Structure 1
Amino acid sequence: MNYRDIIVFDFETGSRNPHKTQPTQIAAVAIHGRKLTPKGFFNSEMQPILDDKEAIKQGLDPLEDEALKITGKNREDLAKAPKPKQVWEKFTSFVNKYNFKGTQWFAPIAAGYNIIGFDMIIVNRMCNLYGPVDKKTGNQVLFNKIHKIDVMDNVFMWTENNSDIRSISMDSMRELMSLSSENAHDALQDVKDTANIMIKLMKTHRAVANKIKLEKAFANGPLYV
């Protein structure tokens, strides 16, 4: 049984490559591990390197106009946003509030939509720049060492046998589940929508799990493989 809290988080970024993109916003909601209710929110824009040549010099992608349009950002406002280090220090303090034993084994579980292929890569980059990081492995030690919840993968498991569903993008799931598209691609709104989908599916998991017996499930066969 899980007692660790869950941090649903999301980055908005200035390009698509998670290894080189510049974050422009990070938001999160802490979810109680048992009650599946919100415990706290975090939201901040983050100042990127606005000069394209300087960004390239530092090995980063310049801001892309299309990405700014999608996320509703502009260079003028981003120039006034707090620096990445300042934002990251506040974010790590927020996450650490929900680490009830102060170790990575009991750290909150990272959750989000497509975080394994995108957001967690950025987390690892930020942790290597500003901490906390395991100096031996170079891996982040902010979130739980073992568990992650990629809600997109969870959605796939529930929908992979449904021929009516052609896409499991976040926008498609909003339409399917009757979530408003207002403020979509703002990190805080995306976090709220992702958390609602996650909680809905987790409550369904729990209801179904109570009716399934896994103990000795293959004792009498047959095996599938």
Structure 2
Amino acid sequence: MNFRDIIVFDFETGSRNPLTTQPTQIAAIALHGRKLTIQPGGIFNSEIRPIIDDKKAIEAGVDPLEEEALEITGKNRKALAKAPLPKTVWKKFEDFCNKFNFRGSSYTAPIAAGYNIIGFDLPIAQRMCEMYGTTDTRGRQSIFNPIFKLDLMDMVFSWTENNREFKSISMDFLREYMGFPEESKENAHDALQDVKDTANILIKFLKFQRNISQKTKFEKAFANGEFYV
């Protein structure tokens, strides 16, 4: 049984490669591990100042800001130039996450959650920890649990891979399919809105899974000798 809190988080970025992109916003919601409700003080949201000048970005080894990405996320260079520096934001985000580590150990660290975090957001978090934050003795990010993670995209795929109605597993499709209000659709690709929508779907799935698991007997499931491979 899980007692660790869950932190649903999301980056907005200036390009698509998680290994070289510049974050422009990070948002997060901390959920109580058992109640699946927002923890007190459990919302974080901040824009992040990227390197605005394309030439300087390339010299620094990161992607220049792409106009298409800025348009999708509703950001512009002038406003981002006034955002807090990455080091400042990351220190605040680490402090935010550490509030929900009830014993201050890697084992009790909050579980990272989000949409496509394994392929996108967690590699960025690793980079940010290496550049501005803290890592453990093995060089891994130290704000989230090093073992467990909840990637909603994988959860959705596992539950819908046999369902012909699911033409896509993008967040935009899920918002429409699951009946989210127009406000969510209009504010899509704002990190805080994306985190709220992801958290709502995640909570729905976790409650559903918990209900089913209570009615399912896993012990000695193969005792009858029936194997598939």
TM-score normalised per structure 1: 0.98
2:187 to 156, 176, 183: 183
Q: Distance in 2 between matches of 1:44 and 1:131?
A: 16
1:153-206 per-residue CA deviation (whole Å, 9 max, x = no partner) reads 000011100012110001111111111302100000000000000000000001
Q: Distance in 2 between matches of 1:9 and 1:164?
A: 28
Unaligned segments of structure 2, at least 5 residues: none
Superposed displacement of residue 139, structure 1: 1.2
Corresponding residue for 2:70?
A: 68
Corresponding residue for 1:95?
A: 97
Give the count of matched residue pairs: 224
1:197 to 176, 198, 201: 201
Q: Distance in 2 between matches of 1:142 and 1:8?
A: 13
Q: Distance in 2 between matches of 1:179 and 1:115?
A: 22
- Percentage of pairs with the same residue: 67
Matches of residues 95-174 of structure 1 in structure 2 within 5 Å? 95-134=97-136, 136-174=137-175
Over 6 Å off, 4+ runs: none
Q: What is the identity, as a one-letter code, of the residue corresponding to 1:206?
A: R
Q: Distance in 1 between matches of 2:190 and 2:27?
A: 9
Q: What is the identity, as a one-letter code, of the residue corresponding to 1:24?
A: T
Q: What is the identity, as a one-letter code, of the residue corresponding to 2:177?
A: L
Corresponding residue for 1:12?
A: 12
What secondary structure is seen at the aligned counterpart in 1 of 2:186?
A: coil
Superposed displacement of residue 130, structure 1: 1.3
Q: What is the identity, as a one-letter code, of the residue corresponding to 2:19?
A: H
Indicate yes or no: 2:218 matched with 1:214. yes
RMSD value over aligned CA atoms?
0.7
Q: What is the identity, as a one-letter code, of the residue corresponding to 1:183?
A: N
Superposed displacement of residue 119, structure 1: 0.1
Q: Distance in 1 between matches of 2:43 and 2:145?
A: 19
